[in-house]
Amino acid sequence: MKPIRLVIAGLNSFKEEQTIDFTRLCQGTVFGIFGPTGSGKSTVVDAITLALYGSVKRATRRTQGIVNKTLDEASVLFEFQLGSGAECKHYLVERKYVAKDESVNCRLARLSELQDGETIVLADKPSLVDQAIQDILGLTEDDFTRAVVLPQGRFAEFLNLQGSERRRMLERIFGLEEYGEQLNKLVNDRLKMAENDYLGIKRSQEVLGEATAEAVQAALRLEQASKRELQASKSASAEARNQQEEWGRIRERQQELEAVRQSLAKLQQQSTQIHDLEAKLERQVAAQRVAGALQAFDTAAWHAAEATTALQQLTAEVTQIEQAERQAQVAAQAALVAKQAQEGPLLQKLEQLKRAIALEQQVAALVSKLAAREAAGVALKEQLATEEQALDVLRATSLELDQTLQAWQQEQEQHRIAPEQREQLAQAVAVQDSYAALAKQLGEVTADCVERQKQVAAAQAELASAEAQLATHQAAQTEQQELLAKLLAQAPASVTSQQLNTANAYLKEAQRLAYDGGRLTQYLQTVANLESTVGQIQLQLAAAREEGLAAEQAVRAAEQTVTQLEQESVTARGQNMAALLAQTLQPGQPCPVCGSSHHPAPIADVVSTQVEEVEKALAAARTQLTQQQALRATAAATLVAQQAELKRQQAALLENKRELQIYEAKVKQQLSKFPAEWVTGNAWSAVPPLAQEHLDKLSESFSQRARWETELDQSKAALEACRELFLQQQQQIELLTQAIAAHQAELDRLLARQTGLQEGVARKQVELNNCLAALGQTNLTELRSHYQERDKRLVELERLIKHRQAEKEQLHVRIRQAEQAIGKTKEQQTEARAEYRLHKEQLRALQTELEGLTGGAGATDLQESAQLALATLREQADNTQLAWEQVGKQLAIARQNFSAGQEASRLANITHKQTESVLAVALEREQFVTRGEAEEALGWADLVAEWQQTISTHKKQSEFLQGRAAELTELLAGQSISEQDWLQVVSQAQVAEKQYLQAVEALATAQAALTNVQERHQQWSELETELQRIAKQKDLLSELVSLLRGNALVEFMAGEHLDAIAGIATDWLDLLTGQRYALEVAPDGGFLIRDDGNGGVKRPVYTLSGGETFITSLALALALSSQIQLRGRHRLEFFFLDEGFGSLDPNLLEVVMGCLERMQGQAMSIGIISHVPELKERVLRQVLVSPAQPGGRGSRVQVIAG
């Protein structure tokens, strides 16, 4: 972790926003944060922990009182970097706090990641930011402050932690929790589960009963015998069913062949009517062939009349256009003569006006130039006056600078200090600093004495408190023993694994029962639906047979009607022909039929009306016959389809009944596996809920027992913890007794040193008084400040003089530049006047020439008038010429149209005659006597489709019935089935089917028994394999529980880490103390200091003096930090030391600073927070913190990097 930037505002003594750029500070090994006591140095460290964890350790309730008293808001922003190279990540964390009514609340908390110029917010709530920071850094706040940032007052905390507290801290830092209580609990839980599983499997094997391989073989033999019996019955049933189906097909073909033959006979009777329709269709087709000639003749006649009319209109149009052409020719010639007479003078005038316009433009340009030159002359005059005025100002300023420099040089001589005076002051300051150092050491030793006295008193008070806590721990141990006894008395009944396994087996069987029962219900519904469908089809089949019989009767009735009408038609035709013959007979003339000249009783009237009525009735009867025959064929086809559907549905019904019987047997077999009270009086659907309820009750009892066992384990663990605390408290009392003796010895040593320092302070006071007398001053600080002020003024005067001399040089340059500019301006003024006079003369010459061309009028207006007259003249000539040409074109077009009209009229008359000849030939070719006969045949077009449909239907029915009859005759191949034989075959098939269903039920029972035995045998085998595996696992877990008892693994791992940290800390102590001290780990997990300079004597760390404690804590913190870096993903690249240097003597301070500066190889920056002047002189990179001013600004920081 590398700090980048810290921004503070409104925190403690800081008011205004202050920024610390760590990128400038962390380029070296050591940097310092310096400032007077109370200036806000430690607040810098507080700001980092506040930004990261939202907390300040030394504040009340972690955040109360952190906002500056004069403000109501504080904010911190901390930017840091993790990793390097491709894994480098930048984070920005910021928080804002608001103070209201003596409380401080967090108003803003946000953690962001900076990626490629973008800011990605990772968390925006205080709790989420706290957790995210802990996940990113891998450290809690306590671990961070102990190992990375050691605030004031907590520097030696890790050194003085008790063994158990230090072990828990190491568990958190190095992630050992999962190897401690968590792992121990996990292994114990696994062992209990394994033991319960072992017992449960043994009971489950007992519940399975007889599940041997011999039982499986017996059930298998029974199942194979049932299969053989089923195969035999199935073959017999299939053979009987095949014979029934074969005979049924023969019987159906016999019935269908008889119906087809009857339909063919009826179609044969309609042949005469079909022949008549075919003849009419031929006449209609012939008329269609003549229709084109008819249409062509009518079209040609219409075109001939139209051509004659158009020719008359074109003749009148040509006459009218010829007259207009003569008029246009006269007008064009007149306009051309006028153009030739006026165009030349106008063109000459336009050329003169062009010259006049150019002159006008030149005049305007010269006028503009004259105005510009006049304005430029005025501007040059004003510029000259301004530049002369500026030159006067510059000369006056130069005179003032000379006077100021002379005054400052005189003041500089007055503030100079003699060298001998400076030497006397330096001697006095050295004596005063030595006096202050001794007085400071005396104060620190006095404070150490007071502190040591407080430590003695605190240790005595802590001893009394420890004795009281010992009694408390003993009472708590007694209470835990009573709770454990009470918990053992309340043990709930246990549920065996066998009971759970049996309940699970019941549930599995219930699930199978639910599936098979569902299938049984589906087949029941399907069978009922199929039976209903078969009944409906049988009813429809009976209805279809009745419809077929009705259609047959209707066809026969229609045939009789047609026969009767045909006879009536023949009679009516004969009577009509006799009447026509009678009309031709003359008395005495022979009869054309019999040759008799005597005609005693001729028929009086012709009966053509009667013949037509009979013919119409006959046609209607034949149509009716055709329709009835079609209905009969449709009824026959419907009957065949329904018979096929009936067979299909009956086969499906039979198959579903077989499946229904199978699932009835399965459900009956499965119900036998459940307790009788579940099955008696209940349907199969009630069993699965009962099985689930039974399992739920047992599971709840099992869970209650498990919770009780967990509480029992917790109670035992609590009792063990109380015993451990009791023992630890006894050890603490012994250590406190030793600490009191050590503190008293150190107090005696400090009192002796205090006396020696008091004598040294008195000597330095006398020496300081002598120095002050030699200087003739009583206050050295005022004299020193006075000298410093005079030195500052000398430096300032020297700077001012140099600055003013530079200004004077610049001023002389500006004066010379101003004089040059004035001369240049005067030259420009002379040139402008000469140019102005030249332009004036040119303007007068141009104005004279322009007056001669235009006579004073505007040249542009004259040019526009001449151009308009010329354009009008040319336009009039062009328009009349164009009009003449257009009329000529119209005349040519009219003459062409007239010639085309004449040719069209001639061609139309020829076409009319040709189409008339073609029509006559077509009528004769198609045997039409007149045009009227052909038009009459064309009128039958609406009836053609109907006639074609009738003919096509008759032909298709005949072909279909003939083909079907031949097909059926071929399929029958002479076979014939009587009704008695058919009934006998049906009875045999039903008997065979019943035997097959009985065999299916027997096989289902045998298969169910085999499946049950196989499943139980499989379960027993699986349980045996699992039993062996769990037994081996149980032994391993038991051994692991013994190894982990009492957190032995965690103690070992924590001890290893602690030994490593102590070894590294000893290496640092070798450097810091000149190999005098070393750090070791005591058997109880605490630290011991080995005094190698005193024969290797080992003593507790609380016997160390303040300086020794600081050095030892520093070495330990550096060791812990290096260990944390080894386990973390990111190195910790900085370290803060907050105070602690004041208790070191100059020699030891020199050793510590040298050691810190030699940490270059650790790639770590160390920030020292102190007010010791010697440290400030040794550290190049500094953060200077200036204290807040009462009632004014807050604390401020200044970064010095070099």
pLDDT confidence of 1046, banded at 50, 70, 90? low
The residue behind tokens 């103390």 is 1073
Asked if the model's pLDDT at residue 893 lies above 60, the reply is yes
Contact 285, 1023 (CB under 8 A): no
pLDDT digits 0-9 by tens, 818-837: 778 877 877 777 777 777 77
Asked if the model's pLDDT at residue 388 lies above 90, the reply is no
Distance linking the first and last C-alpha atoms of the chain: 23
Long-range contacts of 260-263 (CB under 8 A, 24+ apart): 260/636, 260/961, 260/964, 260/965, 260/968, 261/965, 262/552, 263/629, 263/632, 263/633, 263/636, 263/957, 263/961
Helix, strand, coil percentages for the chain (3-state, nearest 5): 75, 10, 15
Q: In what order do the strands lie in the sheet with 1087-1091?
A: 1077-1081, 1087-1091, 1097-1100
Pair type for strands 1196-1201 and 1181-1186: antiparallel
Distances (CA, A) of 12 to 15, 39, 110, 1199: 8, 10, 21, 20
Phi, psi of 239 (to 5 degrees): -65, -45
Asked if the model's pLDDT at residue 1130 lies above 50, the reply is yes
Q: What SS3 class is residue 1199? A: strand
C-alpha triplet 485, 475, 162: angle, nearest 5°: 115
Q: How far apart are CA 673 and CA 1190, in angstroms?
A: 94
Q: How far apart are CA 233 and CA 996, in angstroms?
A: 5
Asked if the model's pLDDT at residue 153 lies above 50, the reply is no
Which are the contacts of 673, defined by CB distance < 8 A and separation ≥ 6?
Answer: 509, 1012
Burial class of residue 1033, CB neighbours in 10 A (0-12, 13-18, 19+): middle
Q: What pairs with residue 1183 in β-bridges?
A: 33, 1199
pLDDT confidence of 162, banded at 50, 70, 90? low
Which are the contacts of 1151, defined by CB distance < 8 A and separation ≥ 6?
Answer: 1071, 1072, 1073, 1074
Distances (CA, A) of 1051 to 146, 224, 310, 437, 713: 21, 68, 129, 48, 21
Pick from 19-33, 687-701, 1136-1150: least confident: 1136-1150
C-alpha triplet 181, 724, 714: angle, nearest 5°: 45
Say which residue, 1056 or 11, is predicted with more confidence: 11
pLDDT at 97: 92
Asked if the model's pLDDT at residue 154 lies above 80, the reply is no
Q: In what order do the strands lie in the sheet with 103-115?
A: 18-21, 2-9, 73-82, 89-100, 103-115, 118-123
C-alpha triplet 496, 501, 504: angle, nearest 5°: 130
Asked if the model's pLDDT at residue 209 lies above 70, the reply is no
C-alpha triplet 733, 738, 742: angle, nearest 5°: 145
Question: How many CB atoms lie under 10 A from the CB of residue 127?
Answer: 10
Asked if the model's pLDDT at residue 19 lies above 90, the reply is yes
pLDDT confidence of 152, banded at 50, 70, 90? very low
Q: How far apart are CA 729 and CA 678, in angstroms?
A: 63
Asked if the model's pLDDT at residue 183 lies above 60, the reply is yes
Amino acid sitting at position 685: S
Buried b (16+ CB within 10 A) or exposed e, 246-277: ebbebbbbeebbebbebbbebbebbeebbeeb
Q: What pairs with residue 1100 in β-bridges?
A: 1088
pLDDT at 559: 82
pLDDT confidence of 129, banded at 50, 70, 90? very high
User: How does the average pLDDT of the chain come out, rounded?
Assistant: 78
Asked if the model's pLDDT at residue 1125 lies above 60, the reply is no
Contact 579, 605 (CB under 8 A): yes
Calculate mean pLDDT across residues 264-278.
Answer: 79
Q: What SS3 class is residue 467? A: helix
Nearest to 853 by CA among 366, 355, 364: 355
Contact 908, 306 (CB under 8 A): yes
Asked if the model's pLDDT at residue 1174 lies above 70, the reply is yes
Q: How far apart are CA 751 and CA 1011, in angstroms?
A: 98
Calculate mean pLDDT across residues 80-95.
Answer: 86
Q: How far apart are CA 647 and CA 772, in angstroms?
A: 139
Nearest to 428 by CA among 821, 165, 769, 172: 769
Q: What pairs with residue 121 in β-bridges?
A: 112
pLDDT confidence of 79, banded at 50, 70, 90? very high
pLDDT digits 0-9 by tens, 299-320: 888 887 888 888 778 788 877 8
Which residue intervals of the chain bear CATH 1.10.287? 500-581+610-678
Q: How far apart are CA 249 and CA 972, in angstroms?
A: 9
Tokens representing residue 1043 in the block: 């190894």
Tokens representing residue 561 in the block: 């009607």
Give the dihedral of Cα atoms 582, 585, 590, 596; nearest 10 deg: 40
pLDDT at 151: 46
Quote the DSSP letter at residue 67: B
Long-range contacts of 766-772 (CB under 8 A, 24+ apart): 767/431, 767/435, 768/428, 768/431, 768/432, 768/435, 771/424, 771/427, 771/428, 771/431, 771/432, 772/428
Calculate mean pLDDT across residues 726-748.
Answer: 76
Which residue intervals of the chain bear CATH 3.40.50.300? 2-162+1086-1183
Long-range contacts of 939-945 (CB under 8 A, 24+ apart): 940/280, 940/283, 940/284, 940/287, 941/284, 944/281, 944/284
Query: Which architecture, in CATH terms, is 2-162+1086-1183?
Result: 3-Layer(aba) Sandwich (3.40)
Tokens representing residue 931 in the block: 């045009």
Q: How far apart are CA 446 and CA 450, in angstroms?
A: 6
Calculate mean pLDDT across residues 142-151.
Answer: 65
Of the options 1.10.287, 3.40.1000, 1.10.3470, 1.10.600, the CATH number for the domain spanning 500-581+610-678? 1.10.287
